[in-house]
Amino acid sequence: MIKTTTFRFIFTPIVFQFAQNLAQLTKARLSFSVVFSSVAGYLLGCETIMISDLSLLLFGGLAISGASNAFNQIIERDIDAIMHRTKNRPLPSGRMTHPTAFWIAVCLSVLGLAALYAINPKTSMFAAISMFLYTSVYTPLKTKTPLAVFVGAFPGAIPFMLGWVAATGSFGLEAGTLFIIQFFWQFPHFWAIGWLMFDDYNRVGINMLPSGKKDRGTALQAVLYSIWTLVVSVFPVLGITGDFQISIPAAILIGICGVWLIVSAMRLYQRLDQQAAKTLMLVSVIYITLIQIIYVIDKLI
């Protein structure tokens, strides 16, 4: 009995610490938000909810997102050690070794792609494309050009349409519309993050802002792309986006959310301060979540 108690006393903290490190390595909260988009896309595309496919999408999406984040942290471990925001991550802090992180990422990649392939091959293919663009193109470009945000918007826009592809087995006008919505949304979102983290990013040569500075040029771009985000978000109300259409009441609600996003971007243009950037970042997260919920509810009723 004493030996068993002692084993549990030693073993439990080790497991807990590994779980914490794994959550940080895979950016668990971000991965869940990515999967939320995929599930919304699935619910929009499916005629009947298949629990087996939905479960595979949840597992596969979490695994692929986690693997992408793990590979990202492996590549950027030296940079992460310098930045205040990231220096306590598992790799730069020494709580996890590089080989351990690598094999975790590999295992998650294999399991995730296999799970998505079991739904249909196209879902697995788009997930693989997303992971490749994020780790092999976007991540290296971050230290070279602000255009990395444009490149990163492609893998970032895939999860929403991935759910539709998982539900229907096809990529058409509907999936393309979902892709475009999340594609445009990412610009004000990531420019707000780039504004907030400007000094920390500058320490390692990363600049995500379109003008290269925290100025009205960057803020104006955030306003313009917020407007485009609203336009493409309500576009399905016109009834020309295939099977993905929304009602007028849903378009009005999304329009209200879009105005909130635009006003937040305009506030950044007026004030050019950290608080306005933080507000825009938070509003953008709420915006994409709300409109996806509105899309799904609109379909169900």
pLDDT(64) > 90: yes
pLDDT(86) > 90: no
Q: What is the mean pLDDT of residues 259-286?
A: 97
Confidence of residue 167 (pLDDT cuts 50, 70, 90): very high
Burial pattern 24-47, b for ≥16 Cβ within 10 A else e, equals: bbbbbeebeebbbbbbbbbbbbbe
Domain chopping of the chain, boundaries: 1-170, 172-301
Strands (E), the chain: none
**In the chain, pLDDT over 70 holds for what percent of residues?**
96
Q: What is the mean pLDDT of the chain?
A: 92
Look at 266 and 144; give whichever has higher pLDDT.
Answer: 266
pLDDT(277) > 70: yes
Confidence of residue 1 (pLDDT cuts 50, 70, 90): very low
Model pTM?
A: 0.90
pLDDT(266) > 50: yes
Q: What is the mean pLDDT of residues 238-242?
A: 92
> C-alpha angle with apex 143: 140 to 144, nearest 5 degrees?
90
Look at 173 and 12; give whichever has higher pLDDT.
Answer: 173
pLDDT(229) > 90: yes
pLDDT(98) > 60: yes
Cα–Cα distance measured from residue 27 to residue 104, given in angstroms and rounded to the nearest whole number? 13
Is the separation of the CB atoms in 256 and 198 below 8 Å? no
- What pLDDT is recorded for position 8? 55
- What pLDDT is recorded for position 162? 96
Q: For residue 7, what are the contacts with CB-CB under 8 A and spacing of at least 6? A: none
pLDDT(6) > 90: no
User: Which overall architecture, per CATH, does domain 1-170 show?
Assistant: Orthogonal Bundle (1.10)
Q: What is the mean pLDDT of residues 77-90?
A: 89
- CA neighbours closer than 13 Å in the CB half-sphere of residue 297: 11
pLDDT(15) > 90: no
